[in-house]
Amino acid sequence: MVGGCVHHCKEARARLQALGGDIVDMESAAVLDVARRFGKGAYIIRTVSDGAGDDSHLSYTEMVAVVAHNSALCVEDLLENMP
């Protein structure tokens, strides 16, 4: 799910959890909004390294390798399944 605001309170988080999303991504909301305004589609591939307020258990260097691998898999799948 994408959204344009930070959700700090328990009530807001509970409402979002009820929608069934795994994460809330604020940055991608801006990209999708611009694409929509110009009548274009957009693919956004993101990697979540930690929860809000949590410290990541991986270093930046370790995370880069994971992100590169997962992003490549996503792009390969998109290309294979394009109409």
pLDDT at res. 51: 61
pTM exceeds cut of 0.75: no
For 26, the token pair is 């604020």
Q: Where are the domains of the chain?
A: 10-80
Per residue in 2-54, pLDDT (tens digit) is: 555 555 677 777 777 788 877 777 788 889 999 999 999 988 888 776 665 66
Take residue 78 and report the two structure tokens written for it: 């998109």
pLDDT of residue 8: 61
Tokens matching residue 48: 């979540």
**Max Cα distance, the chain (Å):** 42
Q: Which residues contact 26 (CB under 8 A, 6 or more apart)?
A: 2, 3, 4, 5, 6
